[in-house]
Amino acid sequence: MIKSIELINWKTHKNTVIDFQRGVNVIVGIMGAGKSSVMDAISYALFGTFPALAHKRVSLGNMIMNRPSEESHAEIRLTFDADGDNYNVVRKISAKQGSEARIEKNGSYLQAQSERVTETVEELLRLDYDTFSRAVYSEQNGLEYFLDLSKSERKRSIDEMLGLDHFSAAEENATSYINSVRSLIEGEENALAQIDIKQFKDQMDALLNERVDVAKRRDDLSKKAGELGKTAKDMKTKLDALKGEMEKKRNLMEKRTTISARNAALNGEIKKIDALGIAKEEVEKRLKEAKDNADSMAKALEALRKEESDAVRSASSLEANIKTLKKKASDKKAIEDAIRGMDESKLKMEIERCNEDLEKFRNGIAEKRTGIAEGKRWLSELSKHLSKCPLCERELSPDMRQSLLESKEAAVKALETELSGMLSDAKILDGKAKAAKDAMDRLALERSRLKDFMSVDSDLAKLSEELDAASAKRLDAENRYKKKVEDNNRAVEALNSAKLDMDKVRRKEDYAKEVKANSIDLKGIDERLSKMDVDDKAIYSMQDSLTKVSSELSEVNSKVGSDEAYINKLDAQISEKRKQLEDFGRIETRIKARRSLLANLNKFKMALIDTEAMLRSKLISSVNSLMQSVWSELYPYGDYTAIRLTAKKDDYLLEARVDMNGDEIWLGIDSVASGGERSLSCLAMRIAMSMVIVPNLRWIILDEPTHNVDSNGIDRLIDMLGNSLPKVVDQVFIITHDESMKQISGAKVYMLDRDKDVHGNTVASVI
């Protein structure tokens, strides 16, 4: 049972809440009041779609309210119970973020993903949207839909509604599959008939024999190649050994030449140093004296550098202080000039004069305001249409009263003008008084500041004397530092000269040691060269023999490669022949299997046809039984005693039973019935089909069921909906503009209304 629905920003519904009951629920309202939107919302809450959306007549964005104000989202909240549990479904639509959904069971979270919510609802109600839209929800003006279709379309639509379309689809698929299998069998049988399989086998035997012969020849060549390869390897090893020994001999000879040249160069350098006549003991003594003198000079230079730095820092500090005092002296002069430019007595007189004038203005302003208030009080009294003067109580004629009003109004306006001028003048005077007082305050401030600058001139003179003394001291330090730098440079030059001579003495000693070591190495090299018995002639002979063996090996390997390539080619041909023979075998096996499949498919197709016919017969029988019960309650006249749905080969006929000349015959509704009779017969069929298709749910939704129905038919419909139908249907939802539907017995009626002239929101009220 659907218990309630809440629509937020859904089409014309700003915030509509509707509580449903078991039995009949009627929603009445004018065209455009938002009735069908309620049923669309129920369908959307349960299944995430509704007919107009499923058929793409509208988009989800169209469901968000856009008048009288444009909203950013819409929301549907639906409550229903199933199997004793209470469920709450919430679906939201956002113009920017798409849609979202959730479902709760007895107040606890169950699912929160749109597709999963729909699947959960389908499991609980045991029906999907297609079944719901076919059997439960009849769209507005959709009752006569089946009568307006062509034969084939009506056959397809009713089969879909009864769930028989799956059989037709399965039968078509089976037929298509049977034809495909038959075509495959014929194609493969024709292909095999054109192939000589014995010829394929003979060709394969010839290829196998040829492969054996070529493989034997390849193996013999491979054995010879192995022997040649071993010989070539041994010769290569010997050749490498000879080359290695020869390389060592060349390296030793090159090393001997290099060492001999190095010794000659070193002996030349030793002779050059000896020619300089430098004695080691004399150089060591001179180096020590020069180093001691340089260290002494460096210490004295550092002391003078510090003295000069201190003198510079002292002079800089004094210069900074003098600069600060000069700034203060300039500030002092500016203050004195400012004080001289201010006349204290004149400022005091200006303040007194302004204050006196302000007092006069304040008194005048008070008088004007009193006069204005008195005048307005008079005007108020005169405006009350009094027949007597409010002061003297003299009788006033209308003309006299009007004259007094005009006179007083003019007097009040004149006073207000004078008051405005006085307020402006007083404001100017007040500004002048404040300016004079500010000048007096600045004068006092400047005099106070001047006291802080009294000692500036004497301090400046004192610092100037100190700066002269510091500058003289700095100049003396700089001169002494420059002289000491020159002395230090001479000491450094003497030290560097001594270091160069010492370096030459040490290099001579190092050269002599290296010459001695090199002479020992040369002796060892000569001994090793005398023991080496290798020359280029032996190497050339071995290289020639190796080249001949390698050439023969290459030729044999080439033949082996050719045979190997030919064997691979034969293997590919053999493999291809074998694969073709296997393919022929598989084709024969496949043909046999497909013939078996074809027989089973034909049996399956016949079973589908028989099952569809049997199920259609049972369903139509059930529909007709229920439809007759509904028709007897619904139709108010006696000309059509019964109706039925008849299944033809390519159509369904909705027929009515009539008496003609004493005989009862069945005629097609669409050929004999009026518009109202057509509507009632289709309504009866819709109710019966709903009960047959979804017997577990027992819901039905009817949108404008009174379309084309006369007053008698409507009365019978009201009686059936209030008394008979609730016995077989748990919940009925009726959407209508026909206010007579409010008379349905026991129905819960909601009236929907809205002011369409101003694009107003839907207002729902229980009647």
H-helix or E-strand spanning residue 672: helix 669-672
pLDDT, position 92: 97
Q: What is the CATH number of the domain that holds 73?
A: 3.40.50.300
pLDDT, position 162: 78
Rounded distance, CA 726 to CA 311, Å? Answer: 119
750 falls in which pLDDT band (50, 70, 90)? Answer: very high
Which residues span the domain enclosing 100?
2-153+699-766
Is the pLDDT at 46 greater than 90? The verdict is yes
Identify whether 719 is part of a domain: yes
pLDDT, position 228: 84
Count CB-CB contacts under 10 A for residue 103.
Answer: 22
Query: For 434-448, 544-558, 667-681, which range has the lowest pLDDT when averaged over its residues?
Result: 434-448
Rounded distance, CA 604 to CA 167, Å? Answer: 11
Rounded distance, CA 422 to CA 431, Å? Answer: 14
Rounded distance, CA 687 to CA 705, Å? Answer: 11
What single DSSP character describes residue 388?
A: B
Is the pLDDT at 752 greater than 90? The verdict is yes
502 against 569, higher pLDDT: 569
Identify whether 50 is part of a domain: yes
Q: What percent of the chain has pLDDT over 90?
A: 19
Rounded distance, CA 273 to CA 276, Å? Answer: 5
H-helix or E-strand spanning residue 702: strand 699-703
Please give the tally of structural domains in the chain: 1
Identify whether 222 is part of a domain: no
Question: What pLDDT digit, counting tens, does each position of 297-349 carry?
Answer: 777 777 777 767 777 777 777 677 767 767 766 666 766 666 666 666 776 78
542 falls in which pLDDT band (50, 70, 90)? Answer: confident
What is the rounded average pLDDT of the residues 103-121? 94
For 622-632, letters b (16+ CB in 10 Å) and e give bbbebbbbbbe
Token pair for residue 451? 């006291």
What is the rounded average pLDDT of the residues 713-739? 87
210 falls in which pLDDT band (50, 70, 90)? Answer: confident
DSSP line for 223-273: HHHHHHHHHHHHHHHHHHHHHHHHHHHHHHHHHHHHHHHHHHHHHHHHHHH
pLDDT, position 450: 61
543 falls in which pLDDT band (50, 70, 90)? Answer: confident
Which runs of E-coded beta strand occur in 2-121?
Answer: 2-10, 13-19, 23-29, 73-82, 85-94, 98-105, 108-111
Give 376's contacts (C-beta < 8 A, 6+ positions apart). Answer: 412
Is the pLDDT at 732 greater than 80? The verdict is yes
Is the pLDDT at 718 greater than 70? The verdict is yes
What is the rounded average pLDDT of the residues 513-541? 83
pLDDT, position 456: 65
Is the pLDDT at 606 greater than 60? The verdict is yes
What is the rounded average pLDDT of the residues 68-81? 94
115 falls in which pLDDT band (50, 70, 90)? Answer: very high
Rounded distance, CA 417 to CA 372, Å? Answer: 11
Q: Rounded mean pLDDT of the chain? A: 82
Identify whether 54 is part of a domain: yes
723 falls in which pLDDT band (50, 70, 90)? Answer: confident
Q: How are strands ordered across the β-sheet holding 652-660?
A: 642-647, 652-660, 663-668
CA atoms within a 13 Å half-sphere pointing along the CA-CB vector of 384: 10
pLDDT, position 158: 78
Identify whether 112 is part of a domain: yes
Is the pLDDT at 143 greater than 60? The verdict is no
**Which of 253-262, 325-334, 660-669, 750-759 is the most confident on average?**
750-759
Identify whether 228 is part of a domain: no
Identify whether 737 is part of a domain: yes
**Which of 57-61, 523-527, 553-557, 574-578 is the most confident on average?**
57-61
Count CB-CB contacts under 10 A for residue 363.
Answer: 10
The closest alpha carbon to 523, from 252, 251, 244, belongs to 252
Question: What pLDDT digit, counting tens, does each position of 249-273 carry?
Answer: 888 888 888 888 888 888 888 788 7
Count CB-CB contacts under 10 A for residue 635.
Answer: 24
- In this prediction the pTM is 0.47
* C-beta separation of 749 from 21 below 8 A: no
Is the pLDDT at 118 greater than 90? The verdict is yes
Rounded distance, CA 443 to CA 339, Å? Answer: 6
What is the rounded average pLDDT of the residues 353-363? 80
Is the pLDDT at 634 greater than 90? The verdict is no
Identify whether 371 is part of a domain: no
142 falls in which pLDDT band (50, 70, 90)? Answer: low
Backbone angles phi, psi at 641, to 5 degrees: -80, -20
pLDDT, position 560: 85
pLDDT, position 335: 63
Token pair for residue 637? 């006249």
* C-beta separation of 657 from 671 below 8 A: no
Name residue 375's amino acid: G
Q: What percent of the chain has pLDDT over 70?
A: 88
686 falls in which pLDDT band (50, 70, 90)? Answer: confident
119 falls in which pLDDT band (50, 70, 90)? Answer: very high
Rounded to the nearest 10 degrees, how much is the dihedral formed by the CA atoms of 522, 525, 531, 536? -110
Rounded distance, CA 183 to CA 189, Å? Answer: 10
Biggest CA–CA distance in the chain, Å, is: 167
pLDDT, position 720: 83
* C-beta separation of 718 from 160 below 8 A: no
Is the pLDDT at 535 greater than 90? The verdict is no
What is the rounded average pLDDT of the residues 355-371? 82
What single DSSP character describes residue 56?
A: T
10 falls in which pLDDT band (50, 70, 90)? Answer: very high
